[in-house]
Structure formats: structure tokens, C-alpha cells
């Protein structure tokens, strides 16, 4: 009886030991599996971080470059604000000069270069022996009757195609030598048909201009007109000038390089043989073209600033969050 009980206890002890051994081996395998999984996760995390870092480097450089666009457009828009203020000040200055009363023609001729758009008055007569000159093509500038007559700023293109009539004017002021003091005066606009008719008369007849008596002329001092791109370099062709080149016109007509735009209308006639031609140019053909598009530039640049800033936030900045 005692022997049987001992065998039963021994058998149960052996089974318990086997179960513990199996349990310990199972725990070891599970621990190894956990360690393997942790290592796998670490390796996968490292590879994922490496891949993300590879993609982030070029994205960050592109983002910085793209961020420069709104900065650049903002700076350009701010610069146009300063340009707009400068242009408005210039327009106000010209309006104040033009609306002033005419002053006496300066006796110091070297001051004329700094007096463009200044109205002056001078006494003299037309040089009857000189042939009229034409600046062609020119459109007619019509003054708005509701505005001040002194306003010479052209707010738009004129109507009609014609030429400006330029004739030498002899100054009879005692301050000057009347034999040598001849200047150029643009007496105004004439239609092209009349220009062609005058040129035909000049070729076939000896002509004189009237009036020959003295009168007071009010004019606006002008400078040489700059040559526009793609215009011919030869300014005098087919009996007319293509631009207001004061130096060349004065050399041809033997006058001082001084040019006035007649401010008023003056009745002129061309005498030839026993006939005469009424010219009657339209005065006040001073055109001041001041392009003032800075406000549209400001709107454009600041609009681009807003667009580029939104795209940068949407595509670059927000994608990293």
C-alpha cells in the first residue's frame, strides 16, 4: 500500500515538472517572438523615417523658393506706390506751371532748357521769306471747352490726321538783335490735304507769308522730341519732318534752336502770284502725355502676392502638418 502511494506521488511530480518545463519553453519562445517583433518595428520605423527624410529635403527647398514669390511681388507693389506718389506730384507741378500767366521771353537764352511747358509772350513778325515746315503725321488736339483754356494736358488722342505748321519767327524785342534772333514757332495743326497743297505751291511758285506786321505771340516752350522705337532715322523726308527735332530744323532754317507751340489761333495766309491761300492753323497743339498706370500695377502685384501666399500655404505649409 505504501509503495503504491509513493509511485502515484512520483508520477504526479514528474508530470508537474514536465508542465513547468513546457511552460518555461513557451514563455521563452513568446519572449523571443516579442523581441523579434520589436526589432522588426524598429527597423521598419528607421526605414520609414529615412524615406520620409529623403522626401522632405527637396520639398523644403522648393518651399523656401516658392515662399520668395509673394515676398518679391509684395516688394514690387510697394515700389509702385512710391512711383504713383512721384507721378501725381509731377502732374500737379506741370498743371501749376501750365495754368500760370505767360511771362516775358527770357533774355538769358541758356535758361530756356529748364523752362519746358512754360508759357511766354514775345513780340515780333513772321519771316516771310522762309518756307513753311511740317511735322507729319500729327493728330488734332481739341480742347474741352468746359475746362480751363490754360490746361494743355492731353487726356486722350486727338481726331483727324494732319501736320503741324512750323514757321520761323523774328523777335523784334529791343533786348535782342532782330537780324539774328529768329526762333521756331509751331502755329498749329492743319489737315493733310492743306499740307499737300502748300507743298505743291512751294514747288511751282514763289510765296510769301502774311501777316507781315508785328504782333504779340503767346507760346509754350518745348524741347526736342525723342525718337520712338522703330521710327526711321531720317527725320526729313518727302517734304516733312517725322518728329520735332529742334536742332536739325533750326539748322535748315538758320534759326536759334528755340521752339514754341503757339497757344492761340493766328490767322495766316500764303501769298503766291496774284492769289492767296488761307492756312488758318489750329493753335494750342501742346501735348503732354503722362502715362499713369501705377495704380493698376499696384493692384496686379498685390493680387499676385495674395495668390502666391495662398498657394504656398495650401501646397507647402499645410501638407507638412
What is the pLDDT at residue 125?
93
pLDDT reading at 149 higher than 50: no
- Give the whole-angstrom CA distance, residue 183 versus residue 225: 17
Q: Predicted confidence band at 185 (pLDDT cuts at 50, 70, 90)?
A: very high
Average pLDDT rounded to a whole number, residues 242-257 = 93
- How high is the pLDDT of residue 2? 45
CA distance 246 to 137: 17
Closest CA relative to residue 139, chosen from 162, 170, 168: 162
Average pLDDT for 242-248: 93
What is the rounded CA–CA span in Å between residue 310 and residue 321? 16
The answer to whether residue 118 scores a pLDDT higher than 50 is yes
pLDDT at 158: 46
* Eight-state DSSP code of residue 273: T
Taking residues 128-149, what's their average pLDDT?
74
Angle at 106 between CA 103 and CA 112, to 5 degrees: 105
pLDDT (tens digit per residue) in 282-297? 999 988 767 788 999 9
Query: What is the pLDDT at residue 85?
Result: 94
Q: What's the Cα-to-Cα distance from 258 to each of 171, 251, 296, 306, rounded to whole Å? A: 12, 11, 38, 52
* CA separation for the pair 97, 221 (Å, rounded): 12
Nearest to 167 by CA among 179, 182, 180: 182
How far apart (Å, rounded) are the C-alpha atoms in residues 192 and 14? 131
Confidence at residue 189, expressed as pLDDT on a 0 to 100 scale: 97
Position 186 scores a pLDDT of: 98
Give the 3-state secondary structure of residue 266. Answer: coil
Q: Alpha helix (H) ranges present in the chain?
A: 2-98, 192-204, 246-253, 294-311
> Does the pLDDT value for residue 191 go beyond 90?
yes
What are the residue ranges spanned by the domains of the chain? 1-48, 60-117+288-321, 126-169+183-227+236-278
Nearest to 216 by CA among 278, 130, 125: 125
Centroid of chain to Cα 247: 28
Each residue's pLDDT tens digit, 9-39: 545 554 544 444 454 555 555 544 444 454 5
> What per-residue confidence (pLDDT) applies to 165?
96
* pTM of the entire predicted model: 0.68
Q: What is the pLDDT of residue 180?
A: 67
Q: Are strands 215-222 and 259-262 parallel, antiparallel or unpaired?
A: antiparallel
pLDDT of residue 183: 96
Amino acid at each position: 500500500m505504501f509503495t503504491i502511494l509513493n509511485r502515484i506521488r512520483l508520477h504526479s511530480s514528474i508530470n508537474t515538472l514536465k508542465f513547468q518545463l513546457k511552460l518555461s519553453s513557451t514563455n521563452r519562445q513568446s519572449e523571443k517572438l516579442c523581441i523579434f517583433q520589436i526589432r522588426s518595428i524598429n527597423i521598419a520605423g528607421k526605414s520609414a523615417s529615412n524615406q520620409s527624410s529623403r522626401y522632405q529635403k527637396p520639398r523644403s527647398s522648393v518651399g523656401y523658393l516658392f515662399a520668395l514669390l509673394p515676398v518679391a511681388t509684395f516688394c514690387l507693389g510697394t515700389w509702385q506706390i512710391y512711383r504713383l506718389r512721384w507721378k501725381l506730384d509731377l502732374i500737379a507741378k506741370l498743371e501749376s506751371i501750365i495754368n500760370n500767366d505767360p511771362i516775358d521771353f527770357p533774355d538769358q537764352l541758356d535758361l530756356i532748357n529748364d523752362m519746358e511747358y512754360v508759357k511766354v509772350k514775345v513780340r515780333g513778325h513772321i519771316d516771310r521769306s522762309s518756307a513753311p515746315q511740317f511735322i507729319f503725321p500729327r493728330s488734332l488736339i481739341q480742347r474741352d471747352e468746359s475746362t480751363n483754356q490754360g490746361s494743355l494736358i492731353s487726356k486722350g488722342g486727338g481726331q483727324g490726321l494732319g501736320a503741324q505748321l512750323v514757321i520761323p519767327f523774328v523777335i523784334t524785342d529791343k533786348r535782342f538783335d532782330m537780324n539774328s534772333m529768329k526762333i521756331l514757332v509751331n502755329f498749329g495743326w492743319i489737315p493733310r490735304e492743306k499740307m499737300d497743297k502748300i507743298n505743291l505751291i512751294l514747288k511751282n511758285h514763289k510765296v510769301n507769308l502774311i501777316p507781315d506786321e508785328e504782333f504779340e505771340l503767346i507760346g509754350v516752350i518745348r524741347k526736342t522730341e525723342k525718337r520712338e522705337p522703330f521710327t526711321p532715322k531720317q527725320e526729313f523726308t518727302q517734304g516733312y519732318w517725322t518728329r520735332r527735332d529742334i536742332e536739325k530744323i533750326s539748322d535748315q532754317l538758320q534759326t536759334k534752336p528755340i521752339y514754341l507751340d503757339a497757344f492761340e489761333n493766328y490767322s495766316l495766309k500764303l501769298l503766291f502770284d496774284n492769289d492767296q491761300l488761307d492756312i488758318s492753323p489750329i493753335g494750342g497743339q501742346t501735348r503732354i502725355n503722362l502715362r499713369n498706370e501705377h495704380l493698376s500695377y499696384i493692384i496686379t502685384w498685390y493680387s499676385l502676392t495674395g495668390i502666391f501666399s495662398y498657394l504656398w500655404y495650401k501646397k507647402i505649409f499645410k501638407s507638412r502638418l
